[in-house]
Amino acid sequence: MVRLLGRAIRTLRSERGWTVEEAAARFRVEPAFVRRIESGRTNPSLAVIVSIATALGVGTSELLQEEES
């Protein structure tokens, strides 16, 4: 689940053309934390997931959905 979340965030961030640093500022976290989330090395709190979803303009459920094959 953590890797799925990280992939979704990386994809959505890239689609918006945001650097890790820009995304971190919008998510209100440190850039290193964004990198750990995107690589699946950390499990962010629900509050952080909501902040990320809000900044990306998506619902939290979209961040947690499996990609369709």
Long-range contacts of 13-19 (CB under 8 A, 24+ apart): 13/38, 13/56, 16/56
This prediction has a pTM of: 0.89
Domain spans in the chain, listed from the N-terminal domain onward? 2-64
User: CA-to-CA distance for 3 and 41, rounded, in angstroms?
Assistant: 8
Neighbours of 59 (CB within 10 A): 12
What's the confidence (pLDDT) of residue 69? 44
What's the confidence (pLDDT) of residue 19? 98
pLDDT tens sequence across 11-67: 999 999 999 999 999 999 999 999 999 999 999 999 999 999 999 999 999 888 876
Q: What is the CATH number of domain 2-64?
A: 1.10.260.40
User: CA-to-CA distance for 50 and 8, rounded, in angstroms?
Assistant: 14
What's the confidence (pLDDT) of residue 67? 65
